[in-house]
Amino acid sequence: MKIFRPILTLVFIFALASCSSNNTVPPSDTMKQSQNMDESNYANTYDQKSIANAASDFLGGGSEAIAKVVEKAFQDLGRPNGYIVGTEFSGAIGIGVRYGDGTLIHKIEGNSPVFWKGPSIGFDLGANGSRVFALVYNLYDVEELYRRFPAVEGSAYFIGGVGINYQQRGDIIIAPIRVGVGLRLGISLGYMHLTKKRNWIPF
């Protein structure tokens, strides 16, 4: 256990640095590309109003904060061509894990089941369940979703008890939105591993 303590300490410090401000680092060049879609692609993507309404309906409560977080995502990334609705549960003693399952709703390919897991950062001892609404960008083949997506450093953004961060692999970006209660609001750092089937091995 002593071997892991320095590693856990560094991860925790990194999390505090990432989450301590509402300011985010500029998106990467790949992330900015999603803002430059031609109008011909609009039929294959979702507009901000429909996403804000869907997120508010699914997450419940804090609709104004959710709308602002969605607005932030659209400013940074543009229009998504899919989104994930699902539930997750997590347990942490400072450092923890998350497991989730839900449905990918893709503008072209329709609905697909999805599961995820990954490390998490929390600020207390305990466990909780929550709903997750994740925007998905540049996903043109659903099969490419099932892999690990590292977090984009410095992209965590919080407002009114609602949090979002960006996770990217190649051109595909996932932006999970979570609603927290007090200090139990956490955000996945490190990576988010999406799979077709449930897998309880945390990493």
Residue 202 lies in a domain: no
The structure tokens 């998905």 sit at 136
Segment 118-164, tens digit of pLDDT:
887 766 566 667 889 999 999 999 999 999 999 887 788 888 888 89
Segment 13-56, tens digit of pLDDT:
334 334 433 444 445 555 545 444 455 567 889 999 999 999 99
In DSSP terms, 120 is beta-bridged to: 96
Q: Supply angle C-alpha 107, 111, 115, rounded to 5.
A: 120
Report the number of distinct structural domains present in the chain. 1
Give residue 38's domain range: 5-195
* 108 SS3 class: coil
Q: Report yes or no on whether pTM surpasses 0.75.
A: yes
**Rounded distance, CA 133 to CA 38, Å?**
26
Residue 203 lies in a domain: no
CB atoms within 10 A of CB 156: 24
Residue 36 lies in a domain: yes
